[in-house]
Amino acid sequence: MKIALVGDYDATVLAHQAIPGAIERSARALATTVEPIWIHSSEVDIQTIATVDALWCVPFSPYANPEAVITVIRYAREHDMPFLGTCAGYQHAVLEYARNVLGFENADSSEDNPETSMPLISALACRLADQADTIYLDRGSRIAEIYQTERIAEDYHCGYGVNPDYLSLFANSEFKFSACDNNGDPRAFELSANRFFFGTAYQPERSSLHNITHPLITAFLMESL
* β-bridge mates for residue 103, sequence order: none
Q: How far apart are CA 14 and CA 127, in angstroms?
A: 17
pLDDT attached to residue 126: 62
Query: 3-state class of 160 per DSSP?
Result: strand
Model confidence at 149: pLDDT above 90: yes
Q: How far apart are CA 188 and CA 179, in angstroms?
A: 5
pLDDT attached to residue 148: 98
Neighbours of 214 (CB within 10 A): 23
Q: How far apart are CA 28 and CA 213, in angstroms?
A: 9
What is the average per-residue pLDDT within 33-51? 98
**pLDDT tens-digit readout, 48-92:** 999 999 999 999 999 999 999 999 999 999 999 999 999 999 999
Domains plus CATH for the chain?
2-224 (3.40.50.880)
Maximum distance among all Cα pairs of the chain, rounded to whole angstroms = 48
What is the average per-residue pLDDT within 16-35? 98
- Nearest 10 degrees: CA dihedral of 223, 194, 79, 20? -40
